[in-house]
Chains A and B, each alone.
Chain A
Amino acid sequence: MTALAINPPRIGSAGTKPEGLSLVYQRLMMIMLVFAGVTTLVVGRLVFLQLFTDRGGDASIGNPLIPPRADIVDRNGVALARTIDAWSIAIHPNRLLGNPDELAEKLAALMPERSADQYRAILKSGKSFAFLSRRAVPELVAAVNALGEPAVEFSREPKRLYPQTGLAAHVLGWTSMEGHGVAGMEKVLESRLSDPSLRGTPVALSIDARVQASLETELAAAMAKFSAIGAAGVVMDIQTGEVLALTSLPQLNPNAPGQAMAEAGFNRATLGVYELGSTFKPFTVAMAMDSGIIKSFGQMYNCPRALPVGGGKFTITDTHPFGRACSVAEIMKESSNIGTAQIAAQVGSQRQQAFLRAMGFMEPVSIELPERGRTLTPGANWGDIATMTVGFGHGIAVTPLHLATGYATLFNGGIWRPATLMKMGPGHPIPAGHRVFTEETSRRMRGLLRLVVTDGTGRKADAPGYRIGGKTGTAEKIVGGHYTSAAVVTTFAGVFPMDAPRYVIIAMLDDPKATPDTYGFHTAGWNVAPVVSKVVARVGSLLGIAPDPSREADMSEVLPYVHREAEH
């Protein structure tokens, strides 16, 4: 019914049907176009997004793996320094809700590095921000969080971590709170470590963590045993100049450098200069051999009980005086000052200085570390007496690392190369260096230094099978402007294996005391030589030197001249 009622108007408009229909079509088309337009717009947008969207997400995903500061690893890839996300605990004192006195007590109980009064002062200062702890362990964070103070803020910030704690602390150095290197290799490599393009790859040092640990342990044990005030040690590859271990004791923990004693921050191996005594004698003999003064180890020198020099103003003495003529081999074996002084006098001041300069003994040691000590030399007073005393290691003060470089030069065929803490390899080629001694001298010196260990003052440095050769050195310290026999610096400079030298090892004790074990002696042969023996026995095989009792250095040139002495 209703349909019928509606129909009539439609029928009524039937006259305008064609126009109406076209109008409808038109409108329909318009709507269609609108829809199509919207669809096109959407599709276009999608295509655009698909094609031109910057997929930066990938880059931001890769980033977290690149640390804010590059790692430092040892030559075998053991991590020595890393950057981790550490928790830091801070507080906004102006937004404090709880009772500051109560909170201060609780904080002092949780973090005892500050007293309750100090915490109270911080809480009542009204400042907007203060750090409570910059490097907190998760347990501490949880405990502080449990206090329920909303003003306390926890955040994660990158922190430098030294997983091996004190190991090679003086080589690595440490960083400031802001993460910048302030000492050691952290300082030297600052730009390399923080370079965004290189941060991903760790920096490999020449240090071998195992050798470093052995050296530190044995030196620390000797230091404790002989109540020394300090110690230093170096192990170095004599061919490349790579430093495998470099230590200075007392140690410090680079994770908390501020808590260490002031003494511990001092690097004795590169910054401290010492008169290293008799360890210089091989240099003097080598100089004389290169200058053509010593042609054979059988060459004789008159060795009286005391040698007056400088017109009788000074007297050179020996601990084991010969009181007769002795050969060069005997002079070295018994570490005779009198004999060496005469050899040095023959070498002469000019040649001695030239040799020492060529070995780098007149300037700070060449190594990457910023902590390098200036050596002390006679300077303008380098006369005959100075030449003689320098000949046996007095009147000249160098660092233990100088000595290591010098011994490397003497036994690698005579070529000086700078010491380095960077691992040799692609990008770090072995430097050419320059020749100081002849190869012949270098070769002949092997037997002489092996003799010191097999028969002479360094017998306790011998490690069976490792063919150690070396020289002991005991130098009196200057206390109050005078040399005193009460305080000494004992050193052992060793090279192993002596039949084909590969590594040099230096161990030094600062002011060791005599013990009942050493029968009251505080000379190098008693306290520091055993350290070398122990370290070499521990690291020799790690460094690829198999102990072999059947091998020995060529001693045919030296033994004939000491056997005669034994027959006396």
Chain B
Amino acid sequence: MIARGFKSVIWVATVGGAALCCYMVSLRVATERADLAKVEVQIVTAKRDIRSLQTELGTRGRLTQLEQWNSDVLALSAPTSAQFVNDRVTLARLERHDPSVEQQSANIRMASAEIPAPETTAAPAAPKADPAPKLLPAIAPAPATAPMVRRASYTPTPAPAPASTPAGSKAKPAAVASPAANPPVKAQAAASKKATPAASVVASAKPSTPLAASKPASGSKAAAVTAPAKTPAKPVAVAVKPAAKKTQTASAAPTPVKTAKPAGASSARASKPTGGEGHR
């Protein structure tokens, strides 16, 4: 009975609830709409700003102003008819052909003038000028020896001095043997030049760092240096002999120019085993 009595109440509550739900939905929709309107207002404001900024930009960059800047600062002028290209053929004609590296290097020639001995140059300088300049290819390997020669600056001062004199006779055979082993004659000039300063440096060399220098030095003088460096420390009779031979060649270098380098090269092979022996 109570249920029947409350039936209408329940109905009303249901309807009321439904209506409330509807209201909630519509409220939600209204909120969304309001947000949308807000965005639309923002869009309109942005558009209006864009318009006013465009106007300002257009006014500041008006053609008369640009013209004035151009006449005052830039000084640009209209392109002339020569600057227009009307067809492909004319355009193709504008292409500049830059020669490639190979083409450029093919044209490069190195000239070296062989200066004859002083007595010949004295009298007939003019007639001999013609045959003298020789054209040589650009493959001059001489510089390769340069670093080797330079590293030969380490030589202990006291050791070689006494050893050099007896070994002097042995240096010669080494020099004779070497030209056969080293055919490139062009290297000689470079070697001879560097040999002279190297010999002078020998005097001021420090014996403190012999190991570091000896390792990379596959060349002549470095090897020559290592051996004497150890000689003062351990004066072994076997080691001293070849070592003395080398140092002697280095110091003797200034006078026999041609022998300097090959001698070093041949002695380098000899020096390493001696150095090793010295340690053992």
Which residues of A are at the interface with B, using a C-beta cutoff of 8 A? 25, 28-29, 32-33, 35-36, 39-40, 42-43, 46-47, 50, 57-58, 61-62, 64-65, 78-79, 82, 84-85, 161, 163-167, 209-210, 212-213, 216-217, 463-466, 534, 537-538, 541, 546-550
Query: Which A residues are in CB contact (< 8 Å) with B20?
Result: 39
A40, A64, A210, A213: the one contacting B44 at CB < 8 Å is A64
B26 within 8 Å of A by Cβ? yes
Given A32-B12, A465-B81, A541-B84: A46 in contact with B22 (beta carbons within 8 A): yes
Closest to A78 in B: B58
B residues with a Cβ closer than 8 A to A are 5, 8-9, 12, 15-16, 19-20, 22-23, 26, 37, 40-41, 44, 47-48, 51-52, 54-55, 58-59, 62-64, 67, 78-82, 84, 86
Flag if B19 contacts A39 (CB, 8 Å).
Answer: yes
- Residues A36 and B59 in contact in the complex (CB < 8 Å), given A29-B8, A61-B41, A465-B84: no
A164 to B66, CA, bound (A): 11
Q: Tell me, in angstroms, the Cα distance from A463 to B44 when the chains sit together.
A: 49
Are A164 and B64 touching (Cβ within 8 A)?
yes
Q: How many A-B residue pairs have CB under 8 A?
A: 102
Q: How far is the CB of B5 from chain A (nearest CB, A)?
A: 6
Say yes or no: A548 contacts B84, CB within 8 Å. yes
Query: By the criterion CB–CB under 8 Å, are B52 and A84 in contact?
Result: yes
Alpha-carbon gap, A84 to B55, bound state (A): 8
Q: Are A547 and B16 in contact (CB under 8 A)?
A: no
A39 → chain B closest CB, angstroms:
5
CB distance from A412 to the nearest CB of B (A): 25
Find chain A residues with CB under 8 A from B55 CB. 79, 82, 84, 161, 163
Tell me the interface secondary structure of chain B in the complex: helix
B51 to chain A, nearest CB (A): 8
Residues of B within 8 A of A161 (CB): 55, 59
Task: State A88–B52 Cα separation when bound (angstroms).
Answer: 17
- The reply to whether B63 and A65 contact each other, CB–CB distance below 8 Å, is no
Known pairs A29-B9, A39-B15; list 19 more (Cβ under 8 Å): A28-B9, A39-B16, A39-B19, A39-B20, A61-B37, A61-B44, A65-B47, A79-B55, A79-B58, A161-B59, A165-B59, A165-B62, A209-B63, A465-B81, A534-B78, A538-B78, A547-B81, A547-B84, A549-B82
**Contact indicator B23/A213 (Cβ below 8 Å):** no
Q: B59–A549 contact, CB under 8 A? A: no
Max chain A C-beta neighbours (<10 A), residue from B16, B26, B79: B16
Q: List 21 A-B contacts (CB under 8 A).
A: A28-B9, A36-B12, A36-B15, A40-B15, A43-B22, A61-B37, A64-B48, A65-B48, A85-B52, A164-B58, A167-B62, A167-B63, A209-B63, A212-B63, A213-B64, A463-B81, A465-B84, A534-B78, A538-B78, A548-B84, A549-B82
A209 cross-chain contacts in B, Cβ below 8 A: 63
**Nearest-CB distance from B49 to chain A (Å)?**
11
Distance in angstroms from B94 CB to nearest chain A CB is 15
Q: How far is the CB of A123 from chain B (nearest CB, A)?
A: 33
Closest A residue to B86 by beta carbon equals A548
